Amino acid sequence: MSLNKMQTLLENIGKQAQISSKILANVETDKKNQALLHIANSLEKREAEILQANQKDLVSGKEKGLSNALMDRLLLTEKRIKGMADNLRDIAKLEDPIGEVVEKWRRPNGLEISKIRVPLGVIGIIYESRPNVTIDAAALCLKAGNAVILRGGSEAFHSNQILTTIAREALTEIDLPADLINLIPTTDRLAVQVMLKLRKYINLLIPRGGAGLIQMVVENSSIPVIETGVGNCHIYVDETADLMMALKIIKNSKVQRPGVCNAMETLLVHQEIAEEFLPLLAETLWKAGVELRCCMKSFNILDKIYSPIKKILPAEETDWETEYLDLILAVKIVMNIDETLNHIAQYGTSHSEAIITQDFQRSREFQKHVDAAVVYVNASTRFTDGSQFGMGGEIGISTQKLHARGPMGLKELTSTKYLIFGEGQIRK
């Protein structure tokens, strides 16, 4: 498609989304909840169509050689479709943030000032692989009073098409504008370049995907951007840790779903427990199919025991900064908490970090000094998720500090405005 045709296509989508967002801004909460519930029911009723479309994407993904982790992100099942529908129902139960009075006060001159939540307007989302993001993002934007323009990855194009078609049809069936939910109807990469310049129509851009995608959006967008998702997440096992607890948390953080941003990528182990703990760790993770990329100290410990096993390799410098999104784990022995904090500061991505310890003061030190959106004590990093935080889902995990940080739920998809009530006051 030519640049002019692409600009015309996306500007039309932007105009209609903007018009629809102004309508939605004045829609009552009950109507928005009705829309969410209707979309949920429609997804379940049309499950066969969704699975059929998803199968096309899975076949194409296999032909393109997508990794097992990426194929898992792409996969839709009956259970995952039900999960999307249940998330919609959960979001419908949440309190509507629009109109909430954040603060209210009266000035000495008698002016009454209120700060209230209002919609952002039109939110653009650029994302990869996971078709469930299509529904989660649309639902959260809708409940927070925003229209959404979605640009999913080409690998999930058929899945995203049927999901947005079902959602748009459900909206029209209850007399809401279909253009509250929009999918850019092409896999042409030119569409992203044009979308990044639609400042006139899009109020906020949220990229969800790998570091390359996020960097490209940040560097080229004329629209405000919230950075999300890149998760080089660490777990530090302190010398006082309960080792059985540590094994359970580490396995869950790495193995349960390795292809997501809150999966652990690097393990840091205190030198005082390394000889005892690392063989237990290797045995546990090897059975789960995890490859270990070890610093020389940890490699020397494990190589003596597991030398025939090819899943234990020496680490390279790049391993400390890599978000694998796969069954690969970097392992490093550290001398103390200071080395741990320095390592995380150098290689972390401000997503999710965890310490396993029985020392309360050590846990407080870790939480105080680690600069990340979410900092855990004795828990899996896999909990960094809007639904796990009671938000009914999230539109992304913000790793920056402006406007929003961590899982972005309904309140993070709003702005504010001030309402002033006076009695004839004038400024002197």
Mean pLDDT of the 158-178 span: 98
pLDDT tens-place string over residues 34-51: 999 999 999 999 999 999
Residue 309 predicted with pLDDT over 80: no
Residue 15 predicted with pLDDT over 90: yes
Distance between CA atoms of 331 and 9, rounded to whole angstroms?
Answer: 49
Sole residue written with tokens 């025939």: 308
Three-state secondary structure call for residue 3 = helix
pLDDT value of position 229: 72
pLDDT value of position 268: 98
Three-state secondary structure call for residue 46 = coil
Model confidence at 391, pLDDT cuts 50, 70, 90, reads: confident
pTM: 0.87
Q: How many CA atoms lie within 13 A of 375 on its CB side?
A: 14
Mean pLDDT of the chain: 94
Report which secondary-structure segment, H or E, holds 125.
strand 122-127
pLDDT tens-place string over residues 54-63: 999 999 999 9
Mean pLDDT of the 102-120 span: 97
pLDDT tens-place string over residues 319-378: 999 999 899 999 999 999 999 999 999 999 999 999 999 999 999 999 999 999 999 999
Report which secondary-structure segment, H or E, holds 151.
strand 147-151
Q: Name the region of 129 (left: φ>0; alpha: ψ -120 to 50; beta: rest).
A: left
Three-state secondary structure call for residue 107 = coil
Helix, strand, coil fractions of the chain, as percent rounded to 5: 45, 20, 35
Q: How many helices (H) and strands (E) does the chain have?
A: 14, 16
**Cβ(117)–Cβ(100) under 8 Å?**
yes
pLDDT value of position 174: 97
pLDDT value of position 211: 81
